[in-house]
Structure 1
């Protein structure tokens, strides 16, 4: 761990933070600019296509096991981002899980509010199963809103009678769009990326007049019983810390195997900064070991 690395990163993030009163189009432009600084590694290939009628990219890592699949859901508070912008982080997870990656370009609000993203994610997962991929060979992964969408998709799949994946990795999951977590206030002074003021307008964009406490909008409030093992990672310098902690508590109460992995004094989705932050690399390594173990366990159970 490096105090200097953390301080340099937080300083840079604060200098480039998005003003809360910025419109969606400008926020998207700023996010695209940041994403161009994180190209995929040389041993990673990206192919643009679709899955179940949903635009998607397929990411192949040299030497990865083609049987295993990471279904990746990008972050961006359901309004920003796309699969290509998240390709580097998705590939880092695929590399450590020794799996190929399919990352979805689910529809975004405000153009396509809830339930568009939820419908897209379920359609893509169903298509992956129909392609012949065994659920025991699939893991979900997602960051921020993508982490919340991963949970919602598993709940939705369960309720539709679909078999569930082997496990899910949730990085700084955004699972409470009512914004009632205590750290929304207590961590506001140290979060360099998110704030209540930044999130509130985007909640309105996504919910489109629906109750933000609905289980498929805020999966913190969903019935989590029967879900596969969850790996939840978050930093202590983020307003969504309480989302991660409460999700772990509710999952455990529903008898779901859960690993809550918190890293001190790092920002929202700190894994994005693996090139400059030792804690990010360490967290990805830990997640990779757990995903690999869960895939092996699921394969044994399915045999």
Structure 2
């Protein structure tokens, strides 16, 4: 473990995790997340443009050289916080590493907009990209934490509809089981340096607002993925959401999906978001970028 990662984990454990355990106001959590994102390392030459796709606002991200397809990326934040602004630096770095452009939707957040609002926004963005002329096989979909679960729910929806499917999918520490049945929620409650296990059910209830947590649109761990493209899943072994990744990988593999599982022995939730500051985060993001590069065509159909 690098010194940078050790110091990061110490900070998260002593400052961020206690704060997350006690903050009550989703608006306050959103503001704090936005402030912390200003410290993220942005690659030189990144271009960020506000854009609406499927009537959903967001950021269009690109770095030179361009022309190697599109990444549709769903940010994390437990469905109650996070935005394109909080994730733009990591996604811009991913664009620089792959040559792809990216769109980060600002899907509607709970509790103001409970389930299935975020899922509906994800589907709207996907359908509008196709309507604009982007080929499905020129798009890779991705996300982290709640956004990773949202991405997998969208992938399952494309499978239910018989396609068209994206070229591939990837997720960092995805939240895939809103029934909260994963053993790691208990086993890693102390070991996780960032997420307080005692707040997970509260965040889930903000989002679901009484809806069934076993609905596969909320818990893609319970969805089916016939004909799905290759999927890359990455997580830390000490995370409370470890089992949301490992069981998701097992389910996909059991359905014949080509799955790459990248497990890190001792890393915080969504390790790649710390790119530019921690060498392990840079390596984690580079592994995802290598997966994406192998599966995106060199060019996409013309779109706007």
When normalised by structure 2's length, the TM-score is 0.93
Deviations 1:107-164 (A, max 9, x none): 0010000110000001101111111111111001101111100000111233344401
Q: Does 1:33 align with 2:35?
A: yes
> In 2 relative to 1, CA 19–99 (structure 1 residues): closer, same or farther, beyond 3 Å?
closer
CA contact (8 A) 1:136 1:298 kept: no
Q: Does 1:58 align with 2:57?
A: no
Deviations 1:10-29 (A, max 9, x none): 01112322342322122112
Post-superposition offset of 1:39: 5.2
Where does structure 1 differ by over 3 angstroms across 4 or more consecutive aligned residues? Answer: 296-299
Provide structure 2 residue ranges, at least 5 long, that are not aligned to the other structure. Answer: none
Post-superposition offset of 1:193: 1.5
Between 1:81-90 and 1:191-200, the stretch displaced more is 191-200
Q: Which residue in the other structure is 2:14 paired with?
A: 15
Post-superposition offset of 1:298: 11
CA contact (8 A) 1:175 1:218 kept: yes
Q: Which residue in the other structure is 1:205 paired with?
A: 206
Post-superposition offset of 1:278: 1.4
CA contact (8 A) 1:50 1:56 kept: yes
Q: Which residue in the other structure is 2:143 paired with?
A: 142
Between 1:33-42 and 1:206-215, the stretch displaced more is 33-42
Matches within 5 A, 1:101-116: 101-116=102-117
CA contact (8 A) 1:73 1:141 kept: yes
Deviations 1:184-237 (A, max 9, x none): 111111212213212111111100111111101010011122211100001122
CA contact (8 A) 1:263 1:279 kept: no
Query: For the residues of structure 2 that align with 1:114 and 1:156, how far apart are their CA atoms?
Result: 15
